[in-house]
Amino acid sequence: MPLQVRSVPADAPEVDALLDAYLDEREATFPSAQGSYSRKRTPAAEFVPPNGTFVVAYDGDRPVGCGGLRRIADDGDDVRFEVKHVYVTPAGRGRGVATAVMDALEDAARGFGATSVVLDTNDSLVAAGAMYRGRGYERVAPFNENPNATAWYRRPVG
């Protein structure tokens, strides 16, 4: 069965399982030189249309990836939505799941009237950084105080 990406409530059971796995993995692999990982979830209420959405990628009935999108404060005329919690399970890696999740999130951002999509990540996540840059994201000055982040990105949409 082909991969399907669907919007789901951010407090759905499969989202809880995916985000627990994501936070467990990030905590276990966080660079010790950067201190300890700050284990924090974005509240589910921030992922509700028209101010956001949460998507899960399914391989048949099995959830294999996820990501969220939420509106953050505009920067002048720039209507910004932020990508959060992009995660692909080990079984889903190397199969285009992250690309499908990002496509869905960026499409949703356009539909919500965004002029740009922003995100933060950690430079230790080399594949994630390469994917974001390959999608046209460019490094920008920090736009939040996420203690886990070392890199901030922005991409115009619309």
pLDDT for 112-147, tens place per residue? Answer: 999 999 999 999 999 999 999 999 999 999 999 999
Report the alpha-carbon distance of residue 21 to residue 36 in Å, rounded.
17
CATH number at residue 36: 3.40.630.30
Report the alpha-carbon distance of residue 57 to residue 59 in Å, rounded.
7
Tokens of 131: 């994917």
Report the alpha-carbon distance of residue 75 to residue 156 in Å, rounded.
13
81-105 CB burial, b ≥16 within 10 A, e <16? bbbbbbbbbeebeeeebbbbbbebb
Q: Is the pLDDT of residue 2 over 90?
A: no
Q: How many domains is the chain partitioned into structurally?
A: 1
pLDDT for 28-78, tens place per residue? Answer: 999 888 888 889 899 999 999 999 999 999 999 999 999 999 999 999 999
Q: Averaged over 92-119, what is the pLDDT?
A: 97
Report the alpha-carbon distance of residue 43 to residue 45 in Å, rounded.
5
Determine the structural domain holding residue 151 and report its residue range: 3-156
Question: In this structure, are residues 64 and 5 in contact, taking their beta carbons and an 8 Å threshold?
Answer: no
